[in-house]
């Protein structure tokens, strides 16, 4: 993607409120907020964009470009009057981040657009983007996952999640660009999901993802060095106690860890109270730290990278601490899925 030492990104903000004054739309203000974040990260408005407002940043011999399209340029994937603007976005950029309504999958922009032959990342911020738009994107790329990765949500999104998800994604992507490709899809998705406090976003077409949009296993047989370990003993999480609660899974398999996924099922009436850690042999990764606010419950999978290359055998300790009073909960079940190197 960045063989030319340039990373080009575009963020089209769709119209969300359907009001008469587009400049009072929620996403108009959201576009302004993203512009502010870019400036705080050292980007400067540079000019030179075919459409929208361009922000640029130079790190050594590397150039980072983010073009922001406000909702008047492309207000949804069914905005046929501004379809050519979406074509410009896709034609001119390596990363396309659409933040707007999915219009229940009826928008045909991803079907009709002509895709470049080069590799791209499509970040589809609309609700249920996995069900609606991954297949058209893959088809547009000739069915070749080597030419595209698609970041999507499997459920409905809150307006308020779009900018945080984009910020976490771009921060990790730019870090990898600046540091010799040292940012994996696992790390990028963990950053997004940890920022939002849930695991609703995923990436399709990443090299480690074996499943196609139509459910076919693209990797053949399941790996023989994959191990699943779980704890099904439910424990109460003490309210506002610094010691919290811990649960242990003893792993006897001696296996060098390649990838690891932590699966959580926690009932709680205010998940923003919780700090969750996973520990093995003196190494600890913070999985969540007081994120998610007033949302109920945690149920999902979280990529864990602190133990890569280490021996999987030993006591895995999950720690859950409730740092505030009133709301309570229970650790129902948890498990780890390990694939060896």
Tell me if residue 327 falls in helix, strand or coil: coil
Task: Give the burial class of 113: count Cβ atoms within 10 A of its Cβ; 0-12 exposed, 13-18 middle, 19 or more buried.
Answer: buried
Question: What is the CATH classification number for the domain harbouring 131?
Answer: 3.40.50
**Which pLDDT score is estimated for 94?**
97
**Which pLDDT score is estimated for 275?**
93
**In a shared domain, residues 92 and 148:** yes
- Provide the pLDDT confidence category of residue 210 given band limits of 50, 70 and 90: low
**In a shared domain, residues 153 and 193:** yes
pLDDT at 211 over 80: no
**Which pLDDT score is estimated for 154?**
82
**Which pLDDT score is estimated for 102?**
92
User: Strands, E, within 113-200: which ranges?
Assistant: 120-124, 148-153
- Is position 46 within any domain? yes
Between CA 117 and CA 247 the distance in angstroms is 49
**Which pLDDT score is estimated for 204?**
81
- Is position 55 within any domain? yes
pLDDT at 24 over 90: yes
**In a shared domain, residues 61 and 128:** yes
Q: Which segment of 125-129, 191-195, 240-244 scores lowest on mean pLDDT?
A: 191-195
User: What kind and span of H or E run contains 251?
Assistant: strand 245-251
Residue 68, beta-bridge partner list? 11, 53
**Which pLDDT score is estimated for 220?**
59
- Provide the pLDDT confidence category of residue 296 given band limits of 50, 70 and 90: confident
Between CA 96 and CA 62 the distance in angstroms is 19
**In a shared domain, residues 197 and 231:** no
Question: What is the CATH classification number for the domain harbouring 279?
Answer: 2.60.120.260
**Which pLDDT score is estimated for 283?**
94
**In a shared domain, residues 197 and 51:** yes
- Is position 45 within any domain? yes
Contacts of 200 (CB under 8 A, 6+ apart): 153, 154, 155, 157, 193, 300
Task: Give the burial class of 330: count Cβ atoms within 10 A of its Cβ; 0-12 exposed, 13-18 middle, 19 or more buried.
Answer: middle
The average pLDDT across 216-238 equals 77
**In a shared domain, residues 200 and 231:** no
**In a shared domain, residues 322 and 248:** yes
- Provide the pLDDT confidence category of residue 298 given band limits of 50, 70 and 90: confident
Contact 220, 271 (CB under 8 A): no
Name the pTM for this structure. Answer: 0.67
The average pLDDT across 193-200 equals 81
Domain that holds residue 332: 226-340
pLDDT at 223 over 80: no
**In a shared domain, residues 239 and 334:** yes
**Which pLDDT score is estimated for 218?**
59
pLDDT at 339 over 70: yes
Looking at the 3D structure of the chain, how many domains does it have?
A: 2
- Is position 214 within any domain? no
The average pLDDT across 247-251 equals 95
The average pLDDT across 183-205 equals 82
Residue count (the chain): 341
**In a shared domain, residues 51 and 200:** yes
Between CA 44 and CA 57 the distance in angstroms is 7
Tell me if residue 165 falls in helix, strand or coil: helix
**Which pLDDT score is estimated for 221?**
57
Q: State the angle between helix axes of 26-40 and 162-178 in degrees (0 to 180), rounded to the nearest 10.
A: 30
- Provide the pLDDT confidence category of residue 319 given band limits of 50, 70 and 90: very high
- Is position 221 within any domain? no
- Is position 219 within any domain? no
The average pLDDT across 237-242 equals 90
**In a shared domain, residues 27 and 137:** yes
- Is position 294 within any domain? yes
Judged by phi (left if over 0) then psi (alpha if -120 to 50, else beta), residue 60 lies in left
What Cα–Cα distance (Å) separates residue 163 from each residue in 100, 103, 168, 175? 11, 19, 9, 18
**In a shared domain, residues 325 and 179:** no
Between CA 177 and CA 166 the distance in angstroms is 16
Task: Give the burial class of 169: count Cβ atoms within 10 A of its Cβ; 0-12 exposed, 13-18 middle, 19 or more buried.
Answer: buried
For the chain, the average pLDDT equals 89
Look at 275 and 299; give whichever has higher pLDDT: 275
Residue 69, beta-bridge partner list? 12
pLDDT in tens, 122-170: 999 988 888 899 989 999 999 888 899 999 988 888 888 999 999 999 9
**In a shared domain, residues 121 and 236:** no
Tell me if residue 34 falls in helix, strand or coil: helix
The average pLDDT across 313-338 equals 92
pLDDT at 206 over 90: no
Residue 45 is classified by DSSP as E
- Is position 117 within any domain? yes
**Which pLDDT score is estimated for 217?**
57
């Amino acid at each position: 993607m960045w063989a030319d030492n340039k990373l080009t990104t575009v963020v089209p903000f769709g119209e969300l409120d359907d009001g008469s004054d587009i400049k009072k739309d929620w996403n108009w203000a959201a576009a302004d907020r993203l512009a502010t974040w870019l400036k705080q990260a050292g980007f400067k408005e540079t000019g030179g964009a075919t459409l929208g407002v361009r922000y640029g940043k130079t790190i050594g011999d590397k150039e980072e470009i983010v073009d922001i399209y406000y909702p008047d340029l492309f207000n949804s994937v069914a905005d046929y009057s501004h379809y050519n603007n979406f074509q410009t976005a896709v034609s001119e950029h390596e990363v396309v981040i659409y933040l707007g309504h999915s219009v229940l999958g009826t928008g045909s922009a991803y079907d009709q657009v002509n895709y470049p032959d080069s590799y791209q990342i499509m970040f589809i911020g609309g609700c249920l983007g996995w069900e609606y738009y991954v297949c058209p994107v893959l088809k547009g790329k000739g069915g070749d996952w080597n030419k595209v990765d698609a970041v999507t949500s499997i459920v409905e999104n809150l307006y308020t999640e779009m900018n945080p998800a984009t910020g976490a994604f771009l921060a990790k992507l730019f870090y990898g660009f600046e540091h010799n490709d040292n940012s994996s899809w696992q790390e990028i998705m963990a950053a997004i999901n940890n920022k939002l406090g849930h695991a609703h976003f995923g990436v399709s077409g990443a090299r480690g993802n074996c499943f196609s949009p139509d459910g076919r296993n693209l990797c053949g047989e399941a790996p023989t060095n994959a191990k699943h370990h779980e704890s099904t003993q439910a424990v109460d999480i003490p309210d506002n106690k610094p010691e919290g609660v811990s649960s242990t899974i003893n792993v006897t398999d001696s296996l060098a860890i390649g990838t690891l996924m932590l699966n959580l099922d926690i009932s709680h009436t205010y998940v923003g109270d919780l700090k969750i850690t996973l520990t093995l042999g003196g190494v600890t990764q913070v999985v969540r730290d007081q994120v998610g606010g007033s949302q109920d419950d945690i149920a999902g999978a979280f990529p864990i990278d602190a133990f890569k290359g280490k021996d999987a055998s030993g006591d895995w300790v999950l720690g859950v601490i409730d740092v505030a009073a009133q709301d309570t909960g229970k650790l129902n079940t948890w498990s780890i899925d390990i694939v060896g190197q």
